[in-house]
């Protein structure tokens, strides 16, 4: 991956088209194809399957450049989920036949991937999932609904978590690769942030799925697969969000005249800058713990919880600072602050998770 070429592409093609892409529905296949050419859609996938064979640090670095230089967190999120929630799990858990069939086109950006895990009213709680997969004539038939699904309206391939044994609870969940087509339809969901990342409701209506599209074995859906992708996704998205936050800080400061800046505002912005620098170092540690040779265990979970609490507080402080400086309505700053509402997703689970630490 040529990071300098990616930086130029983000500055010259992503940022200047952000307003237009946001207004007309957000997702555009043209930039996606260029990201594939630059190696991002096949990042972290072995060369054998058409990928670049890079590691997590390279991938995070590339997507961070895209998010920060392009000021586009939505496109970065769609790219992250395509790789981390679709191609990368397929490489880890898929059969030889599945990898041969799907990974090359995912790497080339010809297919777009998504993960259909969360359900209406229950989120990602594995004990409350009701999407089912029943055996019929040697294959599986899936029924249920999933939302909100990043990339749902544009995805060609979904990793779906469904129950093959409802009585077993989360131990009865399994994972499947499901192609778009008859029996699977998507209703677009309109969010008031992240306009360049399409989200949707995936509805499975007796969707026939070949038995060979089971990832791993029955019962792997939660313990082996969805738990893994949950950690992988957060470990890579946090450093990308941090790069986006640093870009936001830079834009706020660059729009102010230092001599006219009130002392209290100068102190707040200086504090946020120091914190962002420290967060970046901790974010690198998070990636190392997640994808390095030695598992992170408790330290990894504590870092995820730390970021879950600290980053929304940082953003809220910057929102107040931008408003106090009269910049909250500035187009790019306002859009970036809106997109950082992504940090609010799943925040209700944090207090419960913190209790488990002790």
Helix, coil or strand: residue 147? strand
Q: How many CB atoms lie within 10 A of CB 301?
A: 15
Burial (CB < 10 A; 0-12, 13-18, 19+), residue 190, is: exposed
- List the one residue out of 210, 190, 215 whose CA is nearest residue 200: 190
Question: Is there a catalytic annotation at residue 233?
Answer: yes
DSSP percent split of the chain into helix, strand, coil, nearest 5: 60, 15, 25
The CA angle 37-189-346, to the nearest 5 degrees, is 85
Burial (CB < 10 A; 0-12, 13-18, 19+), residue 57, is: middle
Query: Please, are residues 232 and 304 in contact by the beta-carbon 8 Å criterion?
Result: no
| Residues in CB range of 154: below 8 A, 6 or more apart | 27, 112, 198
- List the one residue out of 277, 227, 280 whose CA is nearest residue 57: 280
- From the centroid of its chain, how far is CA 258? 36
Burial (CB < 10 A; 0-12, 13-18, 19+), residue 347, is: exposed
Q: What letter would DSSP give residue 53?
A: -
Question: Is residue 101 within a helix (H) or strand (E), and if so which, with residue range?
Answer: helix 96-107
- From the centroid of its chain, how far is CA 52? 20
Say which residue the tokens 């834009």 belong to.
Answer: 251
Give the active site residue among 147, 233, 275, 288. 233
Residues with catalytic annotation?
Answer: 233
């Amino acid at each position: 991956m040529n990071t300098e070429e990616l930086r130029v592409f983000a500055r010259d093609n992503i940022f200047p088209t952000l307003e237009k892409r946001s207004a007309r529905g957000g997702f555009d296949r043209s930039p996606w194809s260029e990201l594939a050419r630059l190696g991002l859609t096949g990042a972290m996938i072995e060369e054998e399957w058409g990928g670049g064979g890079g590691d997590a640090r390279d991938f995070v670095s590339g997507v961070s450049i895209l998010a920060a230089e392009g000021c586009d967190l939505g496109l970065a999120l769609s790219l992250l989920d395509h790789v981390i929630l679709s191609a990368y799990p397929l490489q880890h858990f898929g059969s030889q036949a599945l990898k041969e069939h799907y990974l090359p086109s995912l790497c080339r950006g010809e297919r777009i991937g998504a993960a259909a895990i969360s359900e209406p009213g229950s989120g990602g709680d594995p004990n409350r999932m009701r999407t089912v997969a029943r055996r019929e004539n040697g294959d599986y038939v899936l029924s249920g609904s999933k939302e909100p699904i990043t990339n749902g309206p544009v995805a060609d391939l979904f990793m779906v978590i469904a129950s093959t044994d409802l009585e077993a609870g989360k131990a009865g969940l399994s994972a499947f690769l499901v192609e778009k087509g008859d029996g699977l339809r998507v209703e677009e969901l309109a969010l008031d942030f992240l306009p360049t990342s399409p989200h949707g409701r995936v509805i499975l209506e007796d969707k026939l799925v070949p038995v060979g599209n089971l990832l791993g074995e029955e019962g792997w859906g939660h313990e082996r697969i969805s738990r893994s992708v949950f950690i992988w996704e957060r470990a890579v998205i946090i450093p990308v969000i941090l790069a986006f936050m640093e870009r936001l800080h830079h834009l706020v400061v660059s729009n102010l005249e230092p001599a006219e800046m009130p002392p209290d505002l100068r102190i707040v912005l200086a504090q946020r800058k120091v914190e962002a620098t420290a967060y970046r170092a901790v974010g690198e540690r998070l990636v190392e713990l997640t994808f390095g040779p030695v598992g992170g265990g408790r330290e990894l979970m504590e870092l995820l919880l730390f970021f879950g609490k600290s980053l929304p507080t940082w953003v809220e402080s910057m929102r107040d600072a931008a408003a106090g400086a009269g910049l909250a309505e500035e187009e790019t700053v306002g859009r970036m602050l809106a997109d950082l509402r992504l940090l609010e997703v799943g925040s209700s689970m944090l207090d419960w998770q913190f209790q488990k630490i002790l």
